Amino acid sequence: MGEFGGFAGVSRLIKFIHKYGAPKRFYRLAGRLVPWFAGVTALLFVVGLYLGLYWAPPDYQQGDAYRIMFVHVPNAWMSMMAYVIMASFAATGYIWNVRLADMLAKATAPLGASFTLTALVTGSLWGKPMWGTWWVWDARLTSELILFFLYVGYMALQASIDDPRRAAHASAILAIVGVVNIPIIHYSVYWWHTLHQPASLTLTSQPKIYITMLIPLIVMSFAFMFFYFTMLLVRVRSEILVREQRTDWVRKLVGSKQ
């Protein structure tokens, strides 16, 4: 009975994915959602910037330089989360042949790469006043750099294959291999770092996190997360139009907006 229930659950899930994973349906849904997500993103950014730059008091050790944390840490979090999301979409698209999941994975990659790049640059700008140099082989920065290379590789593979189906499936396998490897890479880099600089300071462990820092940090994290969702929907809408351009519904849609 339990097994049967589980099987029915899985097949219901697959049915659900196929129903809402129909590009036509999702195109309309995404179109309706984008303004709301954009509004929430803008609101969160305004509140988060106010709290982070003005409301939160300066840190007693780092002064105002610690405010870089409110852009650095959310971007670092989002860069990792986006990779996991991208790999999950890619795996869904590869295993169950859901085209929408392929497109969502493809649309996630550039966003994830830019979160990684922002985390790297802001980390460097934070490191300069704290460590005295632009770049330190800090564990977090090093694994962000490797994550950036993983994103670049994913996008390069995606771009070098013309057939969209093959491109999606090939990059899906790469993303799955990457996501299995990331914990090992992460762990090895942290381990390497402790071997060489046992007493060094990491960026975020240095200031004790007070509630006045935590609130802006959380708001800014949600701001970047909603930004990701908004732009994911915008990107995936164009991707749907391109891939479905031969279908009737896209032709009708284009014809009706003439």
| Interacting residue ranges for other proteins, rule: CB under 8 A | 49, 53-54, 58, 63-65, 67-68, 71-72, 75, 110-111, 114, 117-118, 121-122, 125-126, 128-129, 146, 149-150, 152-153, 156-157, 160-161, 165-166, 169-170, 173-174, 176-178, 180-181, 184-185, 187-189, 191-192, 195, 227, 231, 234-235, 237-238, 241-242, 245, 250-251, 254-255, 257-258
Closer residue to other proteins (CB): 15 or 178:
178
Q: How far is the CB of 252 from other proteins (least distance, A)?
A: 10
Cβ contacts of residue 16 below 8 Å, gap of 6+? none
Cβ contacts of residue 95 below 8 Å, gap of 6+? none
- How far is CA 144 from its chain centroid? 13
Closer residue to other proteins (CB): 22 or 241:
241
Residue at token pair 């771009």: 159
Q: How far is the CB of 99 from other proteins (least distance, A)?
A: 15
Measured distance CA(78)–CA(69) in Å, rounded: 14
Closer residue to other proteins (CB): 117 or 215:
117
Residue 87 C-beta-side C-alpha neighbours within 13 Å? 17
Measured distance CA(6)–CA(94) in Å, rounded: 22
Q: How far is the CB of 203 from other proteins (least distance, A)?
A: 12
Closer residue to other proteins (CB): 40 or 176:
176
Closer residue to other proteins (CB): 21 or 224:
224
Q: How far is the CB of 166 from other proteins (least distance, A)?
A: 6
Question: In this structure, is the dihedral angle defined by the CA atoms of residues 228, 177, 239 and 27, taken in order, positive or negative?
Answer: negative
Collapsed DSSP state (helix, strand, coil) of residue 210: coil
Collapsed DSSP state (helix, strand, coil) of residue 258: coil
Collapsed DSSP state (helix, strand, coil) of residue 132: coil
Closer residue to other proteins (CB): 7 or 55:
55
| DSSP code per residue over 99-142 | HHHHHHHHHHHHHHHHHHHHHHHHHHHHHHHHHSSS----HHHH
Q: How far is the CB of 31 from other proteins (least distance, A)?
A: 11
Q: How far is the CB of 125 from other proteins (least distance, A)?
A: 4
